[in-house]
Amino acid sequence: MAETRRPIHICIVTTAHPIDDVRVNHKFARAFRGAGFRVTWVGPGHAFFDRSDYNPVGIEFRLCPPNRGRLDRLKAGWCVRRLASSLEPVDVYYAPEPDSADVAVRLAGRHGAKVVFDVHEVYHGALLDRLLMGWRAAPVREFVRRRVARTCRACSLVVGVSDHVLRPYVDDSTRSMVVRSCAPSWFASGKPADVCGDGRTTFTLMHGKCAGNRGTSMVLEAVEHARRTVPPLRLVMFTNGRPETDVEAQALVSRAKERGVDGALDLRAGVPMQQMPEVLRSCDAGLIAYGRDLGVDSLPNRLFEYMATGLPIIAPSYAAEIARIIEAEQCGLLADFEDSASIGEAIARLSGDPGMCREMGRRARNAFLARHNWEVEVTPLLQAIRDWFPGKGNA
């Protein structure tokens, strides 16, 4: 009788990410399961959405109490370490935060496991400034950078969403690779967006989540600027809660009324990832509206979701990673998202040339299918893990 080989066991340890997180669950965890690995998830039990379909692929969840505030994040580290330490021998710990990576390094030392640290953001930049309520101090930034870099050196492999994000934390002694947050291939299933289609009388822009640090106010100014020369505009935005009760959304409506563009707002509650393709297919173009504080190092999910559904894109000219893709694939326009006139001119140019819009959307979708989807992107990581354990089988 042939010997049954134990599958590679990957333990996801997280102190903050929701159980239905797009990158950690819908991308990494499901890719690990699709590769035949056993996957255990240890972390807090909170979710973006109250639904029961966050685990259709057989992930084992061992959950701590949900995080309700910042202090819970501190307690989560202790709880995650306790729960994860009781697992059967683990081959690889995957950690998506600096504090969970520290937990993973400690756990890995117990039985020779590997650690993959997934770096999502420049932790010592705009993210740190938000945590410190806008206070900036170079020594604090450098301390955080050095601390994260030290954690990276203790890991077997560091993956990151872009070169810009990885660069401050890895050196020649750290094995690293870029694994961008591309959308999964199923995002492109079905018909592409009917960009500037016959019968559409309104040019619909997808903005994404409305927030002060996501360029929402500047986009409102741009809509005010552009409406003088373009067809009627509609701006789709998601709120943190119910649009009619969300404080930030209502403040946004007030600002829009002051500018006379409140009729362009289409505010909606957030939707699960599975519903996003349908929403995007109703749009004519997608915006990535980050200012320089977030935009320079940005390479967000939305870029690839726009591409998958065949939308042309307007993105920051100073976002090097995004700009490189848009210029190479000729699938959108670049603008200064700290200058409302620049944004408005890009909107006017797109909405005034339906043929160009449709062609950019077509190129975006083709490029996604060929080069920028999750299945292509994650393959080198899956192979690296297999190479670590050549004698082990699949689940």
pLDDT digits (tens, 9 = 90+) for 26-77: 999 999 999 999 999 999 999 988 666 677 888 999 999 998 887 888 889 9
Distance (Å, rounded) from C-alpha 223 to C-alpha 344?
Answer: 6
- The mean pLDDT of 81-107, rounded to a whole number, is 95
Mean pLDDT is lowest, of 13-22, 41-50, 223-232, 314-323, for 223-232
Angle, helices 98-111/70-85, rounded to nearest 10 degrees: 10
Check residue 180 and give its pLDDT.
97
266 backbone dihedrals φ, ψ, rounded to 5°:
-125, 85
Check residue 213 and give its pLDDT.
61
Decide: 361 and 369 in contact? Cβ < 8 Å: no
Structure tokens at 55: 């685990």
Strand partners, 329: none
The alpha carbon dihedral of 59, 85, 49, 128 has a sign of negative
| 135 has pLDDT over 60 | no
Check residue 231 and give its pLDDT.
76
Q: CA nearest 94: which of 157, 181, 183?
A: 157
Distance (Å, rounded) from C-alpha 278 to C-alpha 12?
Answer: 30
Distance (Å, rounded) from C-alpha 210 to C-alpha 251?
Answer: 11
> What confidence tens digit (pLDDT) does each residue in 271-330 have?
989 999 999 999 999 999 999 888 888 899 999 999 999 999 999 999 999 999 999 999
CA dihedral 250, 251, 255, 260 (to 10 degrees): 10
Check residue 348 and give its pLDDT.
94
| 121 has pLDDT over 90 | no
Inter-CA distances, 273 with 50, 183, 184, 218, Å: 13, 10, 11, 26
Mean pLDDT is lowest, of 96-100, 181-185, 207-211, 377-381, for 207-211
Distance (Å, rounded) from C-alpha 37 to C-alpha 10?
Answer: 7
Inter-CA distances, 377 with 157, 159, 218, 320, 365, Å: 16, 12, 33, 19, 16
Check residue 55 and give its pLDDT.
79
Mean pLDDT is lowest, of 202-206, 224-228, 334-338, for 224-228
191 backbone dihedrals φ, ψ, rounded to 5°:
-75, 150
Widest CA span in the chain: 77
Strand partners, 12: 41, 94
Decide: 22 and 57 in contact? Cβ < 8 Å: no
Give residue 132's pLDDT band: very low, low, confident or very high (50, 70, 90). low
Check residue 2 and give its pLDDT.
45
Please report, for the chain, how many H helices and E strands are present, in that order: 15, 13
| 241 has pLDDT over 60 | yes
Decide: 39 and 46 in contact? Cβ < 8 Å: no
> What confidence tens digit (pLDDT) does each residue in 247-275 have?
878 888 888 888 888 889 999 998 989 99
- Structural domains in the chain, CATH included, are 9-182+374-388 (3.40.50.2000), 186-371 (3.40.50.2000)
Distance (Å, rounded) from C-alpha 248 to C-alpha 253?
Answer: 9
